[in-house]
Chain A
Amino acid sequence: TMDVYFGWRHLSQVVGNKRMRMTSSFQWLLSTFILLYLMNEVNSQKKGALRDLKCVTNNLQEWDCSWKAPLGAGRGTVYEVCIEDRPRSCYRLEKTNIKIAALSPGDHEIRINSLHDLQSSMSKFILNERNVSLVPDTPKILNLSADFSTSTLHLTWNDKGSLFPYHSNVIWEIKILRKESMELVKLATYNTTLSGKDAVRHWSWTSDMPLECATHHVGIRRYIDCPHFSGRKEWSDWSPMKNISWTPDSQTKVFPQDKVILVGSDITFCCVSQEKVLLAQIGHKNCPLIQLDGGNVAIEIHNISVSANSGTNVVFTTEDNMFGTVVFAGYPPDSPQKLNCETHDLKEIICSWNPGRPTALVGPRNTSYTLFESFSGKYVKFKRVEALTNESYQLLFQMLPNQEMYNFTLNARNPLGRSASTILVNITERVSPHAPTSFKVKDINSTAVTLSWHLPGNFAKIYLLCEIEINKANSIQESRNVTVKGVENSSYLVAVDKLNPYTVYTFRIRCSTETFWKWSKWSNERKHLTTEAIPSKGPDTWREWSSDGKNLIIYWKPLPINEANGKILSYNVSCSSNEETQSLSEIPDPQHKAEIQLDKNDYIISVVAKNSVGSSPPSKIASMEIPNDDLKVEQAVGIGKKILLTWHHNPNMTCDYVIKWCNSSRSDPCLMDWKKVPSNTTETIIESDQFRPGIRYNFFLYGCRNQGYQLLRSITGYIEELAPIVAPNFTVEDTSADSILVKWEDIPVEELRGFLRGYLFYFEKGERDTSKMRGLESGRSDIKVKNITDISQKTLRIADLQGKTSYHLVLRAYTDGGMGPEKSMFVVTKENSVGLIIAILIPVGVAVLVGIVTSILCYRKREWIKETFYPDIPNPENCKALQFQKSVCEGSSALKTLEMNPCTPNNVEVLETRSTVPKIEDTEIMSPVAERPEGHSEAEPGNHVAVSYCPPIIEEELPDPAVDEAGGTAQVIYIDVQSMYQPQAKPEEEQDSDPVAGAGYKPQMRLPINSAAEATAVGDDVDKTAGYRPQANVNTWHLVSPDSPRSTDSNSEIVSFGSPCSINSRQFLIPPKDEDSPKSNGGGWSFTNFFQNKPND
């Protein structure tokens, strides 16, 4: 029953497994064959003949032919088998098969006689090789072994090659079944060629599933493809199965352990466990379990990702335990990058490289490197240093004597693979020396030094190329290359020449080889001062005669450092003529000037500079000055900080030209500096740090002849012109009614700061504290400007002015550098006497005319007047006193007279001012008004009361509307006199009073003349001024006038008319005339004012 069971089991498996199609078709053939055989047997029985001769061979040498016995044939049947075309080839036998030697190709007739119970029957068969089947013997597995660590099965068997012709091809088919359920996991074919001898064949297979976790079964069969055999070839039977299983021998339960695999590959882990495995995980990730035989389970990991340093953990968890393994997923070593081999010293080769992509494998799994040199066969291994991650790795290889070419192969290897890089070098061309050490500098002479340094290394066979860097302060860095013969571990010497004496140099050096590969690092720097040499030139010398002409002052300039060649200690000066020589020796260095008293002026002066090594060649200069008669002073202005001087070539000048200069404000002998230029030049640019803008310098061009120097040109110049810093001082020389004469002074050179190009004179009508004065430049049309370009002109008369008018005068100087500041002054022109006379005469004439007309009218109408104003019996209705009462009751018209009151304070102030400040007024007319509003406002407290700046005409200011509010004066009068009428009459009264009060006014008319004269003469003593006294009189006169019986004033007359009546009577008396007459009078009044007030517009 067991067999049956297995048989069923086997069949079902065969049917179920598609991969075993070969096997199943074979079995189908077999069963068909059996069926045919049975049918044939039935037929034979009928005939009583032999049937079905069938031949097979397993070695091609011998055929095994068999046939079916006829029906009824049993034991004791003898068969005679004869092969017709083979001599003596009949065999008697009692079996139904016969082994015959293989027949040659082609048809062969076989006769088989069967003898049974004296009955005989004969059968004939045609036998051909084509009908013979080749069925090889079943192969036998010699050995099946397993390498559990690698999950590899090793299979060996004997191919029995001796049985078959040489070079027959054999196909082996091997099947691997897993687990007790015999799941086919691998069906492999393996082709071999027979060698004519028996040979043991090997075949290995690596399982994806660790072999420990499941039993693996192996079987093999073969198929021989013999080329010369024309019959049918068939597979052998399967060999008996062999299996591999694992017997637990250690604690380990999970497989594989500590495996190193390539990132991205697939792997199966399994766990051998008696307990039920609940969970399997890799890293954080849970994996589905694959059940194996027993309690074993497996998991499959696809495309594994890279591991951390300590690997990826795979853990199987059971109820009360955990089992695990670690897998290391990484990469095979990258081929070493940037492999480079060089040497510092030709003793040791340093090969360095970059490992490339990290392998993610560390510790024992890390990449190991071996550097192999193929010419010598030597190698060195790299010692693992964990700290190195992706930095450059390096290996040292000891150089071999007499070998220059090195062929290095760097092998990298780790559990996942290997890689290599190669490099072929001529090591003498790959020398990168160490930095030179012990670098020293020694003097040879003042222009040459020796450099020495040490360079470790075996350079005996090559030349070194070294670069010397020479640095000098304030100079371009210089590099010089030297080639020196290499020596073994020694010092090198090289001379460096063409240096400057007494100069600090900084040297440093680096080396390479003649076949340049790399520079070494720079050596340390060394500073060195070269020794001194004699000065190469004499100092630049000039001389000046002292102002008295007796002493010669010799000047020289310190030698520049590149000509001094050392520290200059002293100078020797000598003056020699034909007869005598005077010397001054050992003048210590900081002194660059010497004075020698000389009897005559024809000497040759020579100056020599000395340092510790020796004296310079003398520089010579003649003392004589050759006079020049036609010398003009020219002007020049510089550009930037320079000034350009040009001159004509003069063939007489044989040695050189000298330009000396000095500040023009210094006294003689003056010398700031000088410059020598060769005799063939005709221009030079003078440049000096000492030049300042706005300072005037004198330049002198000397030409040199044999006998001495001749002054050729004298030039006054500025580096840059600036505007003057002061205004010209100017005064008013004379004033008339229509002109002013102004006179000014020169500006000192220091304050001019440029060449004076002219003056600008501005004038305009104006008074000191009016804000209109500001801004002369604003181009106002009423400012008149005169540009005085003749700088020798020192006076200016301004004509066509208005008389008795204040003028604002401003004067400023200018240079090409700009305008200087302003100086301003206020001047009042004298009064125009003709206009004044007219202004007086007309009102007087009008007044007289009115008086005459009035008198005539009064005379003619005296009866009517008497009736109206002075009747014998007054009409009460005409009485103004009654109307007054009425008016009071009616309204405010009467009160208008009182509206004058608010002006009273002004009047009081004006009066006080006049009496107290006459001095101020006078000083003000004189004071220069250079200062503008600011200064003015400061001075205000003092000036406050000086409302008018024209004291000479002060009483004309009274009628000035700004000042008078004239009611003020009237108010005073009103109060004193108790006259209600006075305020109303005031304008007329004033107008009229001018011409009438001739006695009071006369002094005033004289006043302008006097004051103008005195103003120029600085008339400070105001007390004496005739102009002032009348002012007081005028006031008195004003006060007195209304009552004065002497008054011929028309108003006075009206007053006398209206005096009996009340104030209101005035309105009735001359209403129309009152309106008109002030106007007409006002015209006369304003005619006078015309001169005075117009400027105030």
Chain B
Amino acid sequence: LSSAAPISPAEPISQAYSLALYMQKNTSTLLQTYLQHQGSPFSDPGFSAPELQLSSLPPAAVPFKTWHALDDGERLSRAQGAFLALTQHLQLVGDDQSDLNPGSPILLAQLGAARLRAQGLLGNMAAIMTALGLPIPPEEDTLGLVAFGASAFERKCRGYVVTREYGHWTDRAVRDLALLKAKYPA
């Protein structure tokens, strides 16, 4: 923990910010691709089901005031936790879809790519936290035992929530990192 001090946080923040921006470009494509493969009503134009949530995945939506008031450690650890959950959920969704849509390599590839990017962002955030001298939260299994035995419809909904929240969390991460970037200029 003490070794973190000499590294400047600006560089990992900048890297993480670039990655988050890059991810942001692909999130809507991922969501659209995902929905197109699930059949109606998911694939209907303008489909949206905000009521669907996953208890194992923290929602990205947060009141602006609360978000703004977060300190660096809190901000980073929430994002860290969310992306940790997202990587695990994206893995789960990938498995679900290889059962439901085994003949759609594009969808499976996009889900795999999103998972790898989320993992990359996790690494970048860990570097920022190290640079800032913050404790890195331990990895934990966010999915637990609930994941198995879900019906096909639940899997489709779950995948929808995960890909949607992946987009929301990426948007939030871009803003989080922009804030930090401004705070720790190079």
Contacts and interface: CB of A to CB of B under 8 A. Distances in A.
Interface of A: 251-252, 254, 257-258, 281, 283-284, 307-313, 315, 320-322, 324-326, 328, 362-364, 366, 386, 389
B48 to A, nearest CB: 11
A258 B41 contact: no
Given A284-B40, A309-B100, 5 more contacts: A284-B41, A311-B152, A324-B153, A328-B152, A362-B103
Given A363-B102, A386-B103, A252 B151 contact: yes
Interface of B: 37-42, 44, 49, 51-52, 98-104, 151-154, 156-157
A546 to B, nearest CB: 89
Nearest to B42: A313
8 contacts: A252-B151, A258-B153, A308-B39, A313-B42, A363-B98, A363-B101, A366-B102, A386-B102
Nearest to B146: A251
Contact of A309 (B44, B102, B154, B157): B102
A663 to B, nearest CB: 79
Given A252-B151, A258-B151, A313 B101 contact: no
A257 B40 contact: no
Nearest to B151: A257
Nearest to B49: A322
A311 B41 contact: no
B102 A315 contact: no
B153 to A, nearest CB: 4
A328 B98 CA distance: 16
Contact of A326 (B44, B51, B52, B152): B152
A322 B44 CA distance: 15
Nearest to B100: A310
B82 to A, nearest CB: 23
Contacts of A283: 39-40
Given A308-B39, A311-B100, A362-B102, A324 B51 contact: no
B110 to A, nearest CB: 15
A623 B151 CA distance: 110
A282 to B, nearest CB: 9
A710 to B, nearest CB: 92
Contacts of B103: 309, 362, 386, 389
A322 B40 contact: no
B33 to A, nearest CB: 13
A310 B156 contact: yes
B166 to A, nearest CB: 19
B42 A325 contact: no
A392 to B, nearest CB: 18
A325 B151 contact: yes
A364 B152 CA distance: 12
A315 B39 contact: no
A362 B98 CA distance: 10
A363 B100 CA distance: 6
Nearest to A366: B102
7 A-B pairs closest in CB distance: A326-B152, A363-B99, A310-B100, A257-B151, A386-B102, A324-B153, A283-B40
A254 B104 CA distance: 27
A312 B43 CA distance: 12
Contacts of A326: 151-153, 156
Contacts of B154: 251
A310 B108 CA distance: 13
Given A326-B152, A386-B102, A386-B103, A310 B37 contact: yes
Contacts of A252: 151
A313 B156 contact: yes
A315 B152 contact: no
Contacts of B40: 281, 283-284, 313
A281 B41 contact: yes
B35 to A, nearest CB: 11
A284 B43 CA distance: 10
Contacts of B41: 281, 284, 313, 315
A310 B160 CA distance: 14
A366 B102 CA distance: 10
B100 A313 contact: no
Contacts of A363: 98-102
Contacts of A362: 100-103
Contacts of A386: 102-103
Contacts of A313: 38-42, 153, 156
A258 B157 CA distance: 14
A283 B37 CA distance: 13
Contacts of B39: 283, 307-308, 310-313
Contacts of B37: 309-310
A258 B99 contact: no
Nearest to A315: B41
A420 B38 CA distance: 32
A1020 B49 CA distance: 123
A169 B113 CA distance: 69
A281 B157 CA distance: 16
A957 B61 CA distance: 127
Given A309-B101, A363-B98, A363-B99, A320 B51 contact: yes
Nearest to A251: B154
Contacts of B157: 324
Contacts of A325: 151-153
Contacts of A309: 37, 100-104
Nearest to A257: B151
Contact of A254 (B100, B101, B153): B153
Nearest to A326: B152
Nearest to A307: B39
A364 B99 contact: yes
Nearest to A310: B100
A320 B51 CA distance: 7
Task: Please indicate which of the listed interface residues B37, B44, B102, B156 has the most CB atoms of chain A within 10 Å of its own CB.
Answer: B102
Nearest to B98: A363
Q: Which of A311, A325, A364 has the most CB of B within 10 A?
A: A311
Contacts of B99: 363-364
Contacts of B38: 310, 313
Contacts of A311: 39, 100, 152
A276 to B, nearest CB: 15
Contacts of A257: 151-153
Contacts of A364: 99
B98 A322 contact: no
A325 B151 CA distance: 8
Looking at A252, A308, A310, A313, the one whose CB has the most chain B CB atoms below 10 A away is: A310
B17 to A, nearest CB: 36
A325 to B, nearest CB: 5
A386 B101 CA distance: 10
A320 B38 CA distance: 21
